[in-house]
Structure 1
Amino acid sequence: MAKVKYYYDSETLAYKKIKPKKGKKVGVVLLFITASALFGFLCFVALLNTPFFETPKDRLQAREIEYMKLQYKILQRKTDLMEEALANVEERDNNLYRTYFNTSPIPEEQRKAGFGGVNRYEPLEGYDNSKLVKNTAEQIDKLSKELVIQSKSLDEIAGLAKDKEKLLAAIPAIQPIKNEDLKHMASGFGYRSDPFTKIRKFHAGMDFSARTGTPVYATGDGVVTRADNRSTGYGNHIEIKHGYGYETLYAHLSKYAVKPGQKVKRGDIIGYVGSTGRSEGPHLHYEVHKGGDVINPINFYYGNISAKEYVLISKLANQENQSLD
């Protein structure tokens, strides 16, 4: 109960009650209500900023943050697996593919080189999960760069493989006359007795004795550069340029089946056995040149003869007998 206040009236010489004004009462009430509302609002704000009170929106954001963390961890695991797979490809690239094609491996410092210059991850700093996000971004960038380098390397290997395929097709790898068409191996590569002078001199090819008209085959892919009789001693002869430094010569032919400038494949018939030029009987004189030097043709007959046939031909070719040209 509110206290009753009095005041002394000097005119009446008596105490009278003090009656409060209505407006003042209303002001007091409004002040109280305002103060209470402000206090309540401050308490509400304080509660919102404490871990003891979470709104549905806060809980939703918290779940989203945890989900994003999980996704980054999953992404990191995937990039780890990709890095492991890429490392395996890089190892095979350096130690298998490039070794096979006689190509220098890509240096490790070139494969693993980082990114120079300004801090490219600065916008990712300053957040609660900056370290996780930054590491993942850095790992992905590094992986992307290594993939670009490896992709270029594999393109190079593919080019070398294609070139290797052409090289294998160009090498003179078969006999110019089939075994079933041979009478015998007349003479091999090396010093032999000349059939006309009987003097021992170097024989730059191999002589295959066969009947006149026996087909002669191109021993590798190439282009016919000569098909004429304008070279002393060879009579009708053909020269084929195979590329990669390889050239072959087929001499003493009875006739041609190709002409200069014509492309031929290994196994194509290019002419027929004869005895034209400086020859003592029907046979094919066959030479292989590499980089301008004559080399023993017997080293190349792996494309159409067995190991047993190779040993037999090798023994016959190494006998120091008389050549036929």
Structure 2
Amino acid sequence: MSKVKYYYDSDTLSYKKIEHKSGRKFGIALIGVAGAFLAGFILLVIYINIPQIETPKEMALKRELQNMQLQYNIVNKKMDQIENVLANVEDRDNNIYRLYFESNPIPEEQRKAGFGGINRYKNLEGYENSKLITETNRRMDILSKQIVVQSKSLDEIAVLAEEKEKLLAAIPAIQPVKNENLKRIASGYGWRSDPFTKVKKFHYGMDFSAPRGTPVYATGDGRVERADNRSTGYGNHIRIDHGYGYTSLYGHLFKYNVRQGQKVKRGDVIGFVGSTGRSEAPHLHYEIFMNEDRINPINFYYGNLSPEEFDQVLIKAQQENQSLD
């Protein structure tokens, strides 16, 4: 029940009831609404223009976000360093290792293949730091792929190196008789006078004149293919299969120091100089076969001769004298 208010009328010396006019009530209500609206507007302007008040949880999340951005920036700097190192390894791989081992370089397209087409980072879009996160993940994926490709390449280089090492050890590369044991180089590869018929005949090897019993050395790693006297003219002889198409032959031996099927290393004593078979005097007849074709042995003494010694051997081997077999 609303309260009734009175006022004192001095003219009539009595209290009269206060009557409220309806228009006045409406005006007061309107003023109240306008005041409330104005107060709300003022508070909104103040709220927008002052720093947002953060809760402890929001402050913790903000710090965590800042730390995440810092960590991503650190990761990107580290990836810059890794990319530089990897680029250097790739360059050496293509231009040194593969060049040395006569292998084709890996194309740039192959090293970075598999990153076109579909958007593999769609699930990372729509966030405040999407660009940073997406770019970091993309670089990480490219680096991972490049490292895998490079790792496989180095595995291949290791295999090539092992094969190269075996090849270099297998190729006949030393003189079969040491210089200190030589009397002379009796004859070289080419047309020579036959000691028995005195007719010019092609001499397919080199003759090393040495005393009977002088050690004969394997000129490269391999397996003894033959050690017998069942080949016309060679007498007691040894054939070593070096692999890679190379075979070496040692003829007119006094005796053997190996047997058929035995594996030998370069520098092993395999026999001793003699004068068996079609021979005029004690010497070693030495031949090299490449894919069953006889080639000049003069090109295979780089393993134990100095340039000066090789020049002397070359001069003597080119003399058109009489062979000893």
TM-score range, shorter chain: 0.7 to 0.9
1:228 equivalenced with 2:222 (yes/no)? no
Q: How big is each residue's C-alpha offset from its partner over 1:132-181, in whole Å with a ceiling of 9 and x where there is no partner?
A: 00000010001000100000000000000011110111011111011111
Instruction: Assess if the C-alpha contact under 8 Å between 1:173 and 1:302 holds in 2.
Output: yes
**How many residues align structurally?**
295
Q: Which amino acid aligns with 1:257?
A: N
CA–CA distance in structure 1, aligned partners of residues 130 and 226 of structure 2: 74
Matches within 5 A, 1:136-215: 136-215=136-215
Q: Counterpart of 2:284?
A: 284
* Secondary structure of 1:249's aligned partner: strand
* Secondary structure of 1:97's aligned partner: helix
Q: Counterpart of 1:34?
A: none
Q: Counterpart of 2:28?
A: none
Deviation at 1:3, TM superposition (A): 6.3
Q: Percent identity?
A: 68
Q: Counterpart of 1:113?
A: 113
* RMSD (Å), alpha carbons: 2.5
CA–CA distance in structure 2, aligned partners of residues 304 and 88 of structure 1: 37
Deviation at 1:186, TM superposition (A): 0.3
* Secondary structure of 1:267's aligned partner: coil
Matches within 5 A, 1:29-108: 51-108=51-108
* Secondary structure of 1:126's aligned partner: coil
Q: Which amino acid aligns with 1:96?
A: I
Q: Which amino acid aligns with 1:107?
A: P
CA–CA distance in structure 2, aligned partners of residues 250 and 168 of structure 1: 20
CA–CA distance in structure 2, aligned partners of residues 321 and 74 of structure 1: 78
Instruction: Assess if the C-alpha contact under 8 Å between 1:273 and 1:283 holds in 2.
Output: yes
* Secondary structure of 1:140's aligned partner: helix
Q: Which amino acid aligns with 2:88?
A: N
* Secondary structure of 1:323's aligned partner: coil
Normalising by structure 2, report the TM-score: 0.85
Normalising by structure 1, report the TM-score: 0.85
CA–CA distance in structure 2, aligned partners of residues 83 and 118 of structure 1: 24
Q: How big is each residue's C-alpha offset from its partner over 1:50-101, in whole Å with a ceiling of 9 and x where there is no partner?
A: 8421222222211211111111011111111111111111111111110100
CA–CA distance in structure 1, aligned partners of residues 128 and 51 of structure 2: 16
Deviation at 1:118, TM superposition (A): 4.0
CA–CA distance in structure 1, aligned partners of residues 193 and 123 of structure 2: 86
CA–CA distance in structure 2, aligned partners of residues 212 and 253 of structure 1: 9
CA–CA distance in structure 2, aligned partners of residues 286 and 86 of structure 1: 50
Deviation at 1:305, TM superposition (A): 1.9
CA–CA distance in structure 2, aligned partners of residues 299 and 310 of structure 1: 9
- The worse-fitting range, judged by mean Cα deviation, of 54-63 and 131-140 is 54-63
1:313 equivalenced with 2:313 (yes/no)? yes
Q: Which amino acid aligns with 2:222?
A: G
Q: Which amino acid aligns with 2:158?
A: A
The runs of 5 or more residues in structure 2 that have no matched partner are 7-14, 18-38
Q: Which amino acid aligns with 1:225?
A: E
Instruction: Assess if the C-alpha contact under 8 Å between 1:249 and 1:287 holds in 2.
Output: yes
CA–CA distance in structure 1, aligned partners of residues 165 and 16 of structure 2: 126
CA–CA distance in structure 1, aligned partners of residues 102 and 312 of structure 2: 33
Q: How big is each residue's C-alpha offset from its partner over 1:189-229, in whole Å with a ceiling of 9 and x where there is no partner?
A: 11111111111111100000011111111000000000111
CA–CA distance in structure 1, aligned partners of residues 218 and 119 of structure 2: 64
Instruction: Assess if the C-alpha contact under 8 Å between 1:227 and 1:258 holds in 2.
Output: yes
Q: Which amino acid aligns with 2:320?
A: E
CA–CA distance in structure 2, aligned partners of residues 83 and 112 of structure 1: 13
Instruction: Assess if the C-alpha contact under 8 Å between 1:47 and 1:53 holds in 2.
Output: no
